[in-house]
């Protein structure tokens, strides 16, 4: 009885912390209820606390050293390399809109730490995602290329295809080894292969998550800048209009020479427009009032033009008839009183 009470008082060991946190992560990812529910968020918080304790314990035990190779790490200790990846996955499950940007940055840091660690031990061949420093260098170097965007897009697409193929192969191999490892029937070689496959699987997951995180961070920062711009414009609109003032060297010069023009403005452009519209002195209002007169003048002018056209037709007809008459009647025809 006393031994059981002492076991309960002892802090959990590293294997227990790892297994419990992994189980909580699997339950959160397999849950059908909303991620923002109280039950899921409690599991996320508990898992992050356990992983933090496990990471601190891992540093105290000093299981991994930068001077050793992957072959020097014990097969049962390989799984502890996945702690940063678990931390990044659970950090993304936190739901708090006001701290979303912070959660994304923390998750990216955890995933990047995991990838850096795996690259150091040569777990798999992959390219580390760009950080702020090396992304600036790559952009300056790539600006001299003819089509840097197209090349980057093609390489990213090819990398995604390769990761997808590797993911399918790793999942098939893991399903074949899972039952033997969990039942302690597998030998050391199979146990080592099992955890190495898990490490490679989380490499692909971390690369995909970092790509999604970068896109979401860009959207959130653009949203914040848009809010700041809209707030600045609204503050400018609420500002009262400024009164006109005179620029002079001193008050005495202003009294002697005045403003340099007859008088200061007594009203704004809007006030002038409202006043003239009230009295109907605007150009468009004058045109509206004179519409009937213009129409009447136009009708009168059209009548005169039509009358002139009719007179021209009558005169032309008379001239033609006179020409025809002269063709059929010789000169002096019908002059009986003054016969020569």
Map tokens 């970092």 to a residue: 210
pLDDT tens digit string along 296-330? 777 787 878 887 777 788 888 888 888 887 877 77
Q: What is the mean pLDDT of residues 189-198?
A: 91
Burial of 229 (0-12, 13-18, 19+ CB in 10 A): exposed
% pLDDT > 70, the chain? 74
The yes-or-no verdict on residue 140 having pLDDT over 80 is no
Q: Is the pLDDT higher at 279 or at 33?
A: 33
Q: What is the mean pLDDT of residues 199-211?
A: 93
Q: How far is CA 7 from CA 11, 12, 13, in A?
A: 8, 9, 11
The model scores a pTM over 0.85: no
Check residue 230 and give its pLDDT. Answer: 64
CA distance 143 to 147: 9
């Amino acid at each position: 009885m006393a031994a059981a009470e002492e076991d309960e008082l002892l802090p959990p060991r590293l294997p227990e912390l790892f297994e419990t946190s992994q189980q909580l992560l699997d339950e959160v990812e397999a849950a059908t209820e909303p991620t923002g529910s109280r039950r899921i968020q409690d599991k996320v918080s508990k898992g992050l606390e356990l992983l933090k304790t496990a990471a601190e314990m891992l540093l105290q035990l000093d299981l991994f050293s930068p001077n050793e190779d992957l072959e020097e790490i014990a097969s049962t200790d390989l799984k502890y390399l996945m702690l940063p990846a678990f931390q990044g996955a659970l950090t993304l499950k936190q739901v708090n809109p006001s701290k979303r940007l912070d959660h994304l940055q923390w998750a990216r840091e955890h995933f990047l730490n995991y990838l850096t660690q795996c690259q150091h031990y040569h777990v798999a061949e992959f390219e580390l995602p760009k950080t702020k420093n090396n992304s600036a260098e790559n952009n300056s170097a790539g600006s001299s290329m003819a089509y840097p965007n197209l090349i980057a897009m093609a390489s990213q697409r090819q990398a995604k295809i390769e990761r997808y193929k590797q993911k399918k192969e790793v999942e098939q191999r893991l399903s074949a080894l899972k039952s033997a490892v969990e039942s302690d029937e597998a030998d050391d070689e199979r146990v080592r292969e099992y955890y190495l496959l898990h490490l490679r699987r989380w490499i692909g997951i971390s690369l995909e998550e970092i790509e999604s995180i970068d896109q979401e961070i860009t959207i959130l920062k653009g949203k914040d800048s848009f809010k700041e711009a809209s707030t600045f414009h609204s503050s400018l609109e609420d500002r009262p209009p400024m009164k006109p003032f005179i620029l002079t060297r001193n008050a005495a010069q202003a009294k002697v020479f005045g403003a340099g023009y007859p008088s200061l403005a007594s009203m704004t452009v809007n006030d002038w427009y409202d006043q003239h519209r009230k009295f109907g002195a605007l150009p468009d209002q004058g045109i509206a009032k004179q519409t009937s007169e213009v129409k009447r003048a136009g009708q009168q002018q059209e009548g005169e033009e039509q009358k002139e056209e009719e007179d021209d037709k009558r005169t032309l007809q008379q001239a033609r008839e006179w020409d025809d008459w002269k063709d059929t009647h010789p000169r002096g025809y019908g002059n009986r009183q003054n016969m020569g």
